[in-house]
């Protein structure tokens, strides 16, 4: 866009006299661009034609059912849900740490049986919201959401059964992890 003359920097299509007429003084060697930037003639820096690439898009509100444009929440429910998701995620760190370092503990297994299915619920919910949006696939979104709700309740019930009638989640995970090393009893 800019050509370099022996002493000064000027646009290629503007002569020295045209720049002097616009700014009424010749740019000095100290700041050749400063005087051009201070000039009131903006045609030095802009082209007269606008170049558009691709198709022109219409108003997205007119075709909002075809686009997946996120809608801002009307209440604080999205902020509350995000805060709850972070709290559940951060609470898994000490719970899993106690499970790894201290082994099976009844209180820790109870917390793990509650927090881990809720954490999985939030993670799968975000996948459903992202990949099966309610506006584009209302029936499929409803189906996946109810399948997730029922699956989460079954997971919570299964964790409760393992914790109350069996050895607990941590000991159960240790058994599953070491099942390959143990021989089958026939």
Q: Residue 121 annotated as binding?
A: no
**Does residue 9 contact residue 32 with C-beta atoms inside 8 Å?**
yes
Residues 142 and 128: their CA atoms lie apart, in Å, by 10
**In the 8-state DSSP scheme, what is residue 2?**
E
Residues 99 and 112: their CA atoms lie apart, in Å, by 9
DSSP string, 134-179: TTT-HHHHHHHHHHHHHHHHHHHHHHHHHHHHSS-HHHHHHHHHTT
Residues 6+ apart with CB under 8 A from 172: 162, 166
Hey, what are 91's tokens?
């609470």
Q: Residue 131 annotated as binding?
A: yes
Residue list for the binding site: 119, 131
Binding residues for heme b: 119
- Which residues are documented as binding site for a ubiquinone? 131
């Amino acid at each position: 866009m800019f050509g370099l003359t022996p002493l000064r920097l000027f646009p290629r299509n503007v002569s020295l006299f045209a720049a002097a007429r616009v700014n009424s003084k010749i740019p000095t060697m100290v700041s050749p661009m400063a005087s051009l930037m201070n000039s009131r003639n903006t045609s030095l820096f802009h082209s007269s034609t606008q170049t558009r690439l691709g198709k022109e898009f219409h108003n997205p509100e007119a075709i909002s059912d075809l686009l997946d444009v996120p809608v801002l929440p009307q209440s604080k429910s999205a902020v509350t849900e995000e805060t709850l998701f972070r709290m559940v995620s951060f609470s898994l760190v000490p719970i899993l740490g106690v499970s790894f370092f201290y082994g099976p503990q009844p209180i820790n297994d109870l917390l793990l049986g509650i927090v881990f299915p809720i954490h999985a619920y939030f993670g799968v919910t975000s996948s459903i919201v992202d990949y099966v949006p309610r506006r584009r696939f209302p029936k499929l979104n409803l189906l996946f959401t109810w399948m997730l709700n029922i699956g989460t309740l079954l997971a919570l019930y299964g964790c409760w059964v393992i914790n109350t009638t069996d050895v607990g989640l941590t000991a159960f995970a240790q058994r599953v992890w070491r099942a390959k090393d143990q021989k089958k009893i026939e």
